[in-house]
Amino acid sequence: MTEQTNPMREAIQEAISENPVILFMKGTPDTPMCGFSARTVQILQEVGRPFAAVDVLPDPRIRQELSGLSNWPTIPQLFVDGELVGGCDIITEMYSSGELQAVLGAEGAGAPDPEVQAVESAPLSIENRIA
């Protein structure tokens, strides 16, 4: 029996492989379409490490194939160096403890300063490559 190719899954896997930090989210970093995605983007911008973002909303197959690859049912999903880190709750917890900054290799990794304002770092946008 021959193995069928799945262009959508291959595109998602390629995006994960090619981008050291990539966030699959609802909407875009400039216009998040859910609170969980908005919070995750805010955290990543506060850390200051550039990241790629993929909007899962234009095509339901993106979310379906992503969940199949990651075995994680919810959105957003953050991948670092090809590995799933988690969703909003895990990212928030890791950020609060300083673990996320360490995972991302951010300068001054440690617990965040509650007074720090969001850093304006323009994430890459690759949603059109997968849609």
pLDDT in tens, 35-91: 999 999 999 999 999 999 999 999 999 999 999 999 999 999 999 999 999 999 999
Q: Reading across the β-sheet that carries 83-86, which strands appear in turn?
A: 83-86, 77-80, 21-25, 52-55, 124-125
Place domain 7-105 in its CATH homologous superfamily.
Answer: Glutaredoxin (3.40.30.10)
* Sequence ranges of the domains in the chain: 7-105
Over 50: is that where the pLDDT of 113 sits? Answer: no
Per the prediction, the chain carries an average pLDDT of 84
Lowest mean pLDDT among 14-18, 27-31, 75-79, 103-107: 103-107
Predicted local confidence at residue 93, as pLDDT: 97
Helix (H) or strand (E) holding 81: none
Cα separations (Å) of 58 from 13, 26, 43, 54, 64?
Answer: 18, 9, 24, 10, 12
What does the alpha-carbon distance between residue 91 and residue 78 come to, in Å, rounded to a whole number? 8
Q: Which two tokens stand for residue 52?
A: 């790629």
Q: How confident is the model at residue 5 (pLDDT cuts 50, 70, 90)?
A: confident
Q: What is the DSSP letter of 20?
A: S
The length of the chain in residues reads: 131
Predicted local confidence at residue 43, as pLDDT: 97
Mean pLDDT of 8-12: 93
Over 50: is that where the pLDDT of 99 sits? Answer: yes
